Structure 1
Amino acid sequence: MTIAFTFPGQGSQAVGMGKELADSFSEARDVFAEVDEALGEKLTATMWDGPEDKLTLTANAQPALMAVSVAVVRVLEANGYTLAEKAAYVAGHSLGEYSAHCAAGTFSLADTARLLRVRGNAMQAAVPVGEGAMAAIIGLEVDDVEFVCEAAAGETGGVCQIANDNGGGQLVISGAKAAVERAAALASDKGAKRALMLPVSAPFHSALMAPAADAMREALSNVTINVPSVPVVANVTVAPATEPAAIADRLVEQVTGQVRWRETIEWFAGNGVATLAEAGSGKVLTGLARRIDRSLAGVAINTPADIEAFLQTNA
C-alpha cells in the first residue's frame, strides 16, 4: 500500500489541540516544549486554554498547527513508523507545507516554528486591515472563477485571484476588498451555489502578499535547508521539491501563489498513492480528498486513539 501524508492549514486550529497527545506521549510533550522555547513564549498555553481569538491569530495558529502535526509524526516514529521508510510523499495545505518539510527533516523543529511566526506576522502586516478580503466560491468551475476574478479586477482596478483550489467545486479567491466583493457578486450571477465573504484578516495567497514573500525569502536564507527524507509536493507547482534552493523558492512563491490542492490530490492518485494520512489537528484535508477522488482511502490522525488504530493497521 502506497501512502502519502498530508498536513493541515489554517482553519483547522481549535482550543485544546494537541493536549491529549501531550498527556499521553513524551515525544509529543518534547515537541511542544521545543516550540515554546523556540518562540520564547508558552504557545501551548494558548493552544490548550485559549482564548480562541488569540489562537486564531495568524502568528499563533500557524506554528500551533505545525506543532500538533509534527507531534503526531514524532509519536508514530517513536513507535517504529518512520515517514522516510513508509511514506512515498508528503504535502501540506499552505502553512502545512512547512509541517511537511519539518516532518521530512528539511527544517529543524525550532527553525520551522520561527519561520512560521515570521510568516504569520509578515502576512498579517502586508496589507492594512480592511483593505483586503477573501471569499469562498462554491459550485463553479475553475475557468469560470478565473473569468469573474479577471472581470472584477478590470472593473475595480484591484487585485483579485484564485487563492485556493480545494477541490469538490470549492475555490477561494483573494485580493483587494472591492475586487473580491465584485467577483463574489459576479460569481453568484454566473450560477455559483454560494459566494461567501470569509472572516479573515488579510488577503492570503494573492499578489498583495508580496511584502510577506520578501520577508520569507530573507528568513529562509538564514536557516539550514536539508534535502528532505521524503519528497515534498509543493503547493504552487504540484511537483516534488527536493533540492534546498528549489524548496526555498517554492515556499516564497507560495505566499503570493495559489494553493493547488485539488491538483495535488489528483497528482497523488496518478502517482500510485492509495492512502492519504492527515497528521495534525482536525480532518479537513481528509474530507476534501474524499470529494476530489473517492478511490483514495483517507485517515485523519490527531488523537492517541487515532495513532493506536493507525499503527495497528499500518505496521
Structure 2
Amino acid sequence: MRAFIFPGQGSQKVGMGADLAAASPHARELFEEVDDALGQKLFALMKDGPADELMLTENAQPAIMALSLAVLRVLEKEGGVKLADVAGCVAGHSLGEYSALCAAGAIPLGETARLLKLRGQAMQRAVPVGEGAMAALLGADVAKAEDLAEAAEAEGEICTVANDNDPTQVVISGHKGAIERAVAMVKDDKERWGIKRGVLLPVSAPFHCPLMQPAAEAMEKALADTAITAPDVPLFANVTAEATSNPDVIRTLLVDQVTGRVRWRESVAAMHDAGAEYFVEIGGKVVGPMVGRIAPDAQVLSVQGMDDIEALIKGI
C-alpha cells in the first residue's frame, strides 16, 4: 500500500514551484486558481519573494499547499495517475493535513486555500509577537521532552510538546521565557536530560499549544461553514494518529489540531502497521526523511519537480 504524505510549514522558500510552473501548463493553471481564490498574487510571491513576506504564516501555509496540489495536478494530467487509484491513505504534517484532504477530494482547492490563509492569520493574531516561541529538541524522544518541558515551566507559563516528529526529534512550544529556559537547560546539562541539543526555531508564533486557543476558535467558526465530504482514501489524523473518513470527525480534528500535538511519529507507524510500505511525499522533502527514521524498512520518495514526478510514474 502507498501512503501519500504532505509537508507542513518550514518547507517554504523563494523559488518554490517556479521550475514546475515553467515546465507544465497544468501547474501554472493550479497556481492561478489559488491566486484567484485568495485574491492575491501568491504564486508571484512564491516565485520571486521577498522572503520575509513569503515566510509570514498567512502566506507560507497556502503556498506550501499550492505546491503540493500542483505536483498532484501534473501527476494526474500529464502522468495519468490519480491519487485515489494509487494511494491507500493520506496524511499531512500540521497544515499538510489540509493539503492531504484537498488531494483526497474532501475539500475543494479554493476553499482549502482560503482556510489556510485564515488559519495563518488566526495563528499569528493569537499570541503577540515576541511572547511565544518553539524549539526543536534533537536526540530527544517524547518522554524526555515532556520531562524537560515540565521542568522549564514557570508559574503562569506554558511549555509543552507540540510535534512528535520522529524518534530523534521533538518540538516544544509555549511562552518564550519557558522555551528559552528549556534550551538553556539542555545546553547546561545534556547528560541529565538525555537530549543532544535544543534549537530555537525561526517561527512567528507558538504553534500546537494551548496559547493557540483563539486560533482554534476562529477555525471552528470557519470550518462550521465549510462543506467537507468523505475523502477518497482514509486520512491518518495528526491529533489521533488514527484513520478516519468521517467528515464530521475530520472537521472536529482540524479544530483540535490547532492547539493539539502533531503525532507524526505515531501516524507514520500506524500507516506502516496498516500496510503502507511505500510513502510518497508530495511537494516537499521534509516529512519523507522523517518516515525513514520511523519506519526504516519503508520505501520513501519525495516529489517536488518534473524529474521526481517522472520517477514516481515509473515506480507505479
TM-score w.r.t. length of structure 1: 0.96
Look up the match of 1:288: 290
Look up the match of 1:259: 262
Deviation at 1:185, TM superposition (A): 2.9
Question: Which AA in structure 2 matches 1:285?
Answer: V
Alignment partners' CA distance in 2, 1:222 and 1:241: 20
Deviations 1:100-132 (A, max 9, x none): 000001110000000000000000000001111
Look up the match of 1:152: 152
Q: Secondary structure at the match of 1:124?
A: helix
Q: Is the 8 A contact 1:105 1:226 kept in 2?
A: yes
Q: Is the 8 A contact 1:156 1:178 kept in 2?
A: no
Look up the match of 2:89: 89
Pairing of 1:35-114 with structure 2 (within 5 A):
35-78=34-77, 79-114=79-114
Look up the match of 1:215: 218
Look up the match of 2:118: 118
Deviation at 1:186, TM superposition (A): 3.2
Flag structure 2 segments of 5+ consecutive residues without an equivalent. none
Look up the match of 1:300: 302
The root-mean-square deviation of aligned C-alpha atoms, in Å, is 1.1
Q: Is the 8 A contact 1:205 1:256 kept in 2?
A: yes
Alignment partners' CA distance in 2, 1:169 and 1:185: 19
Deviation at 1:191, TM superposition (A): 3.2
Deviation at 1:295, TM superposition (A): 0.4
Alignment partners' CA distance in 2, 1:241 and 1:253: 15
Alignment partners' CA distance in 2, 1:50 and 1:251: 29
Deviations 1:46-87 (A, max 9, x none): 000011111111000000000010111112122221111110
Alignment partners' CA distance in 2, 1:27 and 1:232: 26
Flag structure 1 segments of 5+ consecutive residues without an equivalent. none
Identity percentage over the alignment?
A: 54
Alignment partners' CA distance in 2, 1:191 and 1:300: 31
Q: Secondary structure at the match of 1:74?
A: helix
Q: Is the 8 A contact 1:156 1:179 kept in 2?
A: no
Structure 1 runs, 4 residues or longer, greater than 6 Å off: none
Alignment partners' CA distance in 1, 2:170 and 2:155: 21
Q: Secondary structure at the match of 1:225?
A: coil
Deviations 1:199-253 (A, max 9, x none): 2111000100000000101111112111111111100000122111111111000
Look up the match of 1:274: 277
Q: Secondary structure at the match of 1:164?
A: strand
Look up the match of 1:310: 312
Deviations 1:151-187 (A, max 9, x none): 222x343111101111131010000111112222334
Q: Is the 8 A contact 2:144 2:195 kept in 1?
A: no
Deviation at 1:265, TM superposition (A): 1.2
Alignment partners' CA distance in 2, 1:69 and 1:141: 29
Alignment partners' CA distance in 2, 1:195 and 1:301: 30
Look up the match of 2:197: 194
Q: Secondary structure at the match of 1:229?
A: coil
Q: Secondary structure at the match of 2:88?
A: strand
Q: Secondary structure at the match of 1:165?
A: strand
Alignment partners' CA distance in 2, 1:157 and 1:125: 20
Alignment partners' CA distance in 2, 1:33 and 1:230: 27
Question: Which AA in structure 2 matches 1:99?
Answer: S
Question: Which AA in structure 2 matches 1:284?
Answer: V
2:207 aligned with 1:204: yes
Deviations 1:22-53 (A, max 9, x none): 12222211210110001101001100001111
Question: Which AA in structure 2 matches 1:16?
Answer: G
